[in-house]
Amino acid sequence: MKRDTQWEVVIGLETHAQLQTKSKIFSGSSIAFGAEPNVQACAVDIALPGVLPVLNREAVVCAIKFGLAVGAQIAPRSIFARKNYFYPDLPKGYQISQFEIPVVSGGGLAISVPQGDFLRGVGNAGDGPKGVQSQATEKYVHLTRAHLEEDAGKSLHEDFHGRTGIDLNRAGTPLLEIVTEPDMRSSAEAVAYAKALHALVQWIGICDGNMQEGSFRCDANVSVRPMNQKEFGTRREIKNLNSFRFMQQAIDFEVQWQINEIEEGRAIQQATVLFDPDTGETRSMRSKEDAHDYRYFPDPDLLPLEITADWIAEVKSGMPELPQAMQQRFQTEFGLSSYDAATLTASREMAAYFETALDSAGKENAKPVANWVMGELSARLNKDGLEIAAAPLSAQQLASIVRRIADNTISNKIAKDVFETLWAGDGKDADAVIEAKGWKQITDTGAIEALVDEVIAANQKSVEEYRAGKEKAFNALVGQAMKATRGKANPQQVTDLLKKKLGG
Amino acid sequence: MSDLINSSLRELSAALATRQVSAVELATLFLDRIEKLNPSLNAFVTTDRAKTLAQARTADEKIVGAGGSAISPLCGIPVAHKDIFCTQGWRTSCGSKMLTNFVSPYDAHVVEKLAAAGMVTLGKLNMDEFAMGSSNETSYFGPVKNPWNVSCVPGGSSGGSAAAIAARLTPAATGTDTGGSIRQPAALCGLSGLKPTYGVVSRYGMIAFASSLDQAGPMAKSASDCALLLNAMAGFDTRDSTSLQRPVEDYGRDLEKPLAGLRIGLPQEFFGAGMDADVRAAVDAALAEYRRLGATTLEVRLTNSGLSVPAYYVIAPAEASSNLSRFDGVRYGYRAPEYADLAEMYSRSRAQGFGAEVKRRILIGTYVLSHGYYDAYYLQAQKIRRLIAADFQAAFQQCDVIMGPTSPSVAFAFGAKSADPVQMYLSDIYTISTNLAGLPGMSLPCGFGANNMPVGLQIIGNWFDEARMLNVAHKYQQVTDWHTRMPETLK
């Protein structure tokens, strides 16, 4: 292969999202994280002789929610199959999964791929440009399928010298495996998709999205091909990417490695690889030759999963408004920009905060409320490392600040002090803080006129400079007036009167 | 006391209620017989006198406490469980070296239900390893002897259950039937045994052989005993997804119904060349008796029944190969004493822990599910299975029950078929199709054939027709006494 070949990257993702049910997918054991080994493993989970699986209805509800959220087909009848292989943390010697007929097929996710520093996510929106359109390209990633399956347990190699410990707490945890078409063409697109999916599964309440605890983990199938070639290249699968940063690093490394291999005349062999975050490299775990024959067949212990239209309708009626619909509504109903709408719908909690604040502040204040949520509030949350649901300042309190700015009771500058005061828990709402601190803006024309006269008298030097054409001197005079009132004077009135008096 | 061993469950129930005998006395009677006779029969693999008598005392308290008021008719009656049923605190071996050290921490649904009815557990019964066999020769604990002739097999896989009842070591036993494992040993030992419609009895706690075929059922001397037992065993269980949610029924409600007008279908395919002459003679005589009772017989066709054995020996091993994967030496059961690594731990534990027939079926099952063979074997067998079920439904348009031999021959000698697996598999040729179709089937004694060995008559009903089948069997048992016979040597 010539060295000047232009390469196209092809990526498909498989994501395992742990479902937020109370109990396991086929038993009544709890799925809470962090328990002592094997205390959350009942007879069914440890696969005692004679035990049988019983499907958890709640896991199916999660799959239906997902199917609805991505516009997929929900199979009226899907089949659970056994995937047979031996491993010590797989108690039955097979995993119950879905093979030929998955519960969800088709559908997709619209993603927005930021240009440039795409890893600066919405979490940093507070520091970012407010209301400014970011550079992003839109793309639709098609989903192949999503199916229900059970997780395996864990093998613990470290704590046992020369032996392996088995913890079956995780065995039987419900998973939704979400598989995309090979639609992504860069690590940036892969990460954008993974982030959008991550946000969506949390939005619809089926997964807590905790990547450290393994609740959301991705495998990436990566291949490269010369630009404009129709056939896909041979793919390698990078397993268990548990952070967006690692995903990007792993794919970038893998792509470069594959290109180098081909350019040096070596063919890519299908393989499963692991990413080592310490070295930033991927390395082969097993080749195609070692691939298992899983001997899939329908699990005779479980009936086909039947999902009626009524059940789907029932689930649908309990679903929250989806982020994309909400973004549209924010734009048309409140006149927000698409950037603002996207930022405010980054999480269901943020959107809920915004809407609650808006209810209280009034629709006409949509833009200032949006700015406060994306700006001051997000920055403050970031600084304290808090989630929006834990904000010490309620949406109603934020709205009370915006209302008092709108009716000129306080200036923007004072508003920030009110915000800090309420954040610290000092006061019921903006009115109480303004009252207690005496921060009400001075708007009385007589009082402001007297103030302006005082400032002119005391600052003759600046007055002369202004009259001599120095615009800066005017600002100094405004500053003096504001300083004299500790910021409470209405700046517009001060400006107007000063100009009038100085004959400007 | 000695006539108690031949009593029906109703008679035992009455004797217990009127305190002619206590549950402890009854249990002791059978425990003593087990102690005396089991060494030569090998029907029981585990007994525990203290546990049994403790249960009997509890039953006596219940009976006395009830003071003659309504109580389960089974309270205080002894029962023994095939060692495939998990029984809390008892070793549950499934006839395998793999589970010789496995003491179950929980009760199977069937065990739980019979215990709730007040039945007293006498012990655990020998069986073919993991229920794979038709002669009880595959048990790790050695073969069970047929009480009618100890040089002959008792049938399998519920051979321990059959031999124990035939020898009057227990009045009742549980069995399981995947391809004939209740009916064939019942036939070979001269008993009544019923495999219910798939889904009538929960499989929870019953060690799985072939999940889509396995079904537990009662084994006893008579059909009316089976009806009482089935009443206690059946019922919906949320722990088994294939358990059927149906109204509770009294399976004995129609026992006394006259048979006039009953249409008995006789499948041409069940009366062909494969059947021994002595079996044919006994079955023909039974059919004549039914005609005397007012039934009519007619010929029906089960065109695809010839495919049942090959289809079964694809489906059953396929499911078994997966079901038996959990026996890996990791969490419980046998683990090889020496191994170098994980792969060797698996291969040695399984090579040493499983017997030859189990390994053969795991290999067959693994093969038919393998990539590239699945469509040709497993899918094809499933299609045949549907055809077989459709044949039966067509037949039931013409008749109420189907009859024929349970087994093509009477009990054969040890070793006669054990070297040739296909010959062994063919001994279930008449029973397998009902499992493939999920239908209920039963066997009842209908005379004696060569060497004075018992012959079984098979009755196959449509789905959920257990009450009618028991009625059909019971009326026959009221005019015949085959079911009351016991081996002279054991009296």
- pLDDT tens digits, residue range B278-320? 999 999 999 999 999 999 999 999 999 999 999 999 999 999 9
In this structure, the strands spanning B172-177 and B215-220 are antiparallel
Q: How many angstroms separate the CA atoms of B325 and A94, rounded?
A: 7
DSSP string, B371-433: TTTTIIIIIHHHHHHHHHHHHHHHHTTT-SEEEEESSSSSPPBTTTTTT-HHHHHHTTTTTHH
Task: Tell me whether B378 touches chain A (CB under 8 Å).
Answer: yes
Report phi then psi at A229, rounded to 5.
Answer: -80, 140
A111, A57 in Cβ contact below 8 A? no
B403, B266 in Cβ contact below 8 A? yes
Helices (H), A5-114: 57-69
A94 and B242: CB-CB below 8 Å?
no
B41, B261 in Cβ contact below 8 A? no
What is the arithmetic mean of pLDDT over A384-403? 93
Residue in B355, B350, B324, B349 with CA at minimum distance from that of residue B418: B355
Percent of chain A with pLDDT over 90: 69
Task: Tell me whether B102 touches chain A (CB under 8 Å).
Answer: yes
% helix / strand / coil in chain B, to the nearest 5? 45, 15, 40
Enumerate domains of chain B plus CATH numbers.
2-260 (3.90.1300.10)
CB neighbour list of residue B315: distance below 8 Å, 6 or more residues apart: B210, B212, B213, B378, B381, B382, B385, B436
What are the angstrom distances between the C-alpha of B355 and each of B86, B98, B128, B138, B263? Answer: 21, 9, 10, 7, 45
Crossing angle of helices A309-317 and A57-69, in 10° steps, is 80
pLDDT for B2: 58
**Which of B92, B342, B369 shows the shortest C-beta gap to A49?**
B92
pLDDT (tens digit, 9 = 90+) per residue, A426-481?
Answer: 889 988 888 888 788 777 888 888 888 888 888 888 888 888 888 888 888 888 88
pTM score: 0.90
Dihedral-angle region of residue B447 (phi above 0 means left; psi in -120 to 50 means alpha; beta otherwise): left
pLDDT for A504: 53
pLDDT for A468: 84
Report helix, strand or coil for A487.
coil
pLDDT for B271: 94
Query: Can B157 be counted among the known catalytic residues?
Result: yes
Q: Which of B13, B22, B157, B202 is the catalytic position?
A: B157
**Which of B105, B239, B326 shows the shortest C-beta gap to A47?**
B326
Tokens representing A345 are 């719908």
A333, A367 in Cβ contact below 8 A? no
What is the arithmetic mean of pLDDT over A120-137? 46
Tokens representing A472 are 């800066």
pLDDT for A474: 87
Q: Which amino acid is at A367?
A: K
pLDDT for A116: 56
Residue in B177, B102, B190 with CA at minimum distance from that of residue B454: B190
A166 and B330: CB-CB below 8 Å?
yes
What is the arithmetic mean of pLDDT over A209-218? 95
pLDDT for B368: 97
A51 and B204: CB-CB below 8 Å?
yes
Q: How many angstroms separate the CA atoms of A402 and A423, rounded?
A: 15
pLDDT (tens digit, 9 = 90+) per residue, A365-375?
Answer: 999 999 999 99
What are the angstrom distances between the C-alpha of A256 and each of A7, A10, A269? Answer: 10, 13, 15
Lowest-confidence segment of A60-64, A266-270, A486-490, B369-373 by average pLDDT: A486-490
Tokens representing B287 are 């059919």
Task: Tell me whether B163 touches chain A (CB under 8 Å).
Answer: no
pLDDT for A130: 40
Q: What number is the ipTM of this complex?
A: 0.96
A48, B99 in Cβ contact below 8 A? no
What are the chain B neighbours of A297 within 8 Å (beta carbons)?
A: 318, 322, 369, 374, 378
**Which of A52, A293, A300 shows the shortest C-beta gap to B212?**
A300
Q: Which residues of A touch B (CB under 8 A)?
A: 43, 46-55, 82, 84, 86, 88, 91-94, 164, 166, 293, 295-297, 300-303
Average pLDDT, chain A: 90
pLDDT(B42) > 50: yes
What is the arithmetic mean of pLDDT over B316-338? 97
Helix or strand (DSSP H, E) at A16: strand A7-18
Query: Can B181 be counted among the known catalytic residues?
Result: yes
Q: How many angstroms separate the CA atoms of B137 and B160, rounded?
A: 11
pLDDT(A132) > 70: no
